[in-house]
Amino acid sequence: MFIALIKKQIKLLLRSPSEILTLFVMPIVLILILSYALGPLMEGDSEMTIIELAIIHHEDEEEQIQGFIDALPPNVVLDQKTSGNIENSLPVSMLVKELENNNEMKELIHVTQLDAKSLAEVKKSGDYDVVLEIPSNFTKEYLDAKFFDQEKPAFNVYLNESEQITSTIVKEIIDYFQQQYTLQSELSESGVIIDHTALSSQKIHSTIRSVDSLEEVPSSVYYTFSMTVMFMLFIAGTLASQSFIEKNTHIFDRILLARIHSSTYLLSIIVSSILFSLLQVFVLFTFSYFVFNISFANWELFLLLSILFSIVIGAIAALLSSINYRSNSAGASNLFSTAIVAILAFFGGSYFNISSLSPFIVNVGMLTPNGAALDGYLKIAQNGSLNDLLPNITVLSSLAFLLMLIAFLLFPKRGGIV
C-alpha cells in the first residue's frame, strides 16, 4: 500500500504539465540564459547592455475594464473590492509593474509604453530588442475568459533577430511570468492560493566566484548548481500543495478509512519528494554535462550530497504538509513557494555568490539547506574531498532530522478539519 501511495503522488504531479515545466524545463532555460548572458562578465566585461522593451497598447486598459463592467448582466453586481481585484490582477499591468518596480529588472530592462500608431515604425527601426503588442479588446477578452470561460486571448511578441541573446532573455522572463501567473490563477480558482499578486520574480546578478572566493569558476558551473538547488526547493512546495488538495477533496479521509496510518501517508510524501528531487538533479546535471561539458568525476560525492539534499527537500515537503493540514489552509506551501524560496535563494547564493558579502550573511547562508548544498557542489567541482564536505553533510543531516521530527509531531492522526 505504501508503494501505491508513492505512485499516486507521482501520477498527480505528472498530470500537471505546468508543474513539470516549472520544475524541469525552467531551470534549464535559466541555466542557459544566465550562463551565456553573464559569461562575458567573468572575462572582464563588467557592463551589460540595457535591454529595450517596447509595449504597444491598441486600446486603453481602464476603458476596457469599464466596458466589461457596463456589459455585465443586470443581475451581476460587482462590489468595490471585486472591481479593485480585477484592476490589480490584469496580466499586462502586473508584468509592467514587475519589470518597473523590481530593482534588478530595472537595471537590466528598460520599458517603453507606446500607442498603436508606433507599431510599424518600432518594428522596422530595430531600436528595441523586444516588442510586446497588446491587441484590441485584449483586456475585455481576458476578463470574459476569466469570468465566463470564454476563449483566452493572446498578445504578440516580436524579437529583434540581430539581438538574439538580449531578446531571448526578455522572452524567457515573459514566459516565466506567464507560467507563474497561470499556475497561481489555476490554484487560486481551486481554493489553494489566496494571494493573486504574489508572483515569483527573477533576479539576475553577475558576481560569480568559487566558494572560497579565490578562484573564478565558469558561469555555467555556478548556475548549474545554483539553479538546481533553488528549483529543488519548489518540489517541496508543489507536493505540499497537492497533498492539501487531497485533504480538501477528502482523499486523505478515505486513505485513513482504509486503515492506512497517517504517518505512512506523510512518509509517502517524503519519499515522493526525494524521488522527484533526485530525478530533477539527474536531468539538470545530465543537461549541463552534455551542453557545457561540466565534469562530474567525483560522482560518488555528487550522489551523496544530492541524496542528502533530496532528503531535506522531502522533510520540508512533509513539514509544509503538516502545517497545511493543521491550519486547514495551503498558506504554508503558498508562502514557501512565493516568498521563502526567494529568501533562501538569496542567502544560499543562488542569485550571486555571497562570499563577497559580510561574514554574518555567509554564515547564515551556510545554515540554509540550499546554501549548504550549493557550497558542497562547488567544493566537489573544485576537487574537494569527503572531509571538505563534512560541514555541509552535518548541516543537511541535522536539518533533515529536525524538520522530519517536527513534521511527524504536527501531522494530524485523523481526517476532517483539525
Give pLDDT tens digits for 358-415: 778 888 889 999 999 999 999 998 888 899 899 999 999 999 999 999 999 998 876 5
Mean pLDDT computed over 112-127: 85
**CA 248 to chain centroid:** 24
User: Looking at 31-40, 192-201, 312-321, which range is the least confident one?
Assistant: 192-201
On whether the CB atoms of residues 403 and 319 are closer than 8 A, the answer is yes
Residue 129 pLDDT class (50, 70, 90 cuts): confident
Inform me whether the pLDDT recorded for 85 exceeds 80.
no
On whether the CB atoms of residues 91 and 178 are closer than 8 A, the answer is yes
- CATH 3.40.190: does it fit domain 49-181? yes
Instruction: Tell me the helix, strand and coil percentages in the chain, rounded to 5.
Output: 70, 5, 25
For CATH 3.40.190, list the domain ranges present in the chain.
49-181
**CA 279 to chain centroid:** 17
Please give the helix or strand (H or E) that residue 51 lies within, else none: strand 51-57
User: Looking at 72-81, 259-268, 407-416, which range is the least confident one?
Assistant: 72-81
What does the pLDDT read at residue 132?
A: 84
- Tell me the C-alpha distance between 183 and 199, whole Å: 10
Radius of gyration of the chain (CA): 23
Residue 116 pLDDT class (50, 70, 90 cuts): confident
What does the pLDDT read at residue 46?
A: 46
Distances (CA, A) of 376 to 191, 217, 308, 348, 358: 39, 14, 11, 12, 20
User: Looking at 2-11, 52-61, 75-84, 307-316, which range is the least confident one?
Assistant: 75-84
Q: What is the pTM of this model?
A: 0.59
- Tell me the C-alpha distance between 252 and 127, whole Å: 56
Neighbouring residues of 391: CB distance < 8 A, sequence distance ≥ 6: 366, 372
Beta bridge partners of residue 158, listed in sequence order: 131
Residues in the chain: 418
Decide which of 188 and 86 is more confident. Answer: 86
Please give the helix or strand (H or E) that residue 27 lies within, else none: helix 26-38
Pairing of strands 130-134, 51-57: parallel
Residue whose C-alpha is closest to residue 334's, from 184, 122, 223, 211: 184
Decide which of 416 and 25 is more confident. Answer: 25
What percent of the chain is modeled with pLDDT above 90? 24
Mean pLDDT computed over 220-249: 87
Inform me whether the pLDDT recorded for 90 exceeds 60.
yes
Decide which of 360 and 259 is more confident. Answer: 360
What does the pLDDT read at residue 301?
A: 94
What does the pLDDT read at residue 152?
A: 80
Sign of CA pseudo-dihedral 335, 337, 338, 340: positive
* DSSP conformation class of 24: I
User: Looking at 1-15, 254-268, 357-371, which range is the least confident one?
Assistant: 1-15
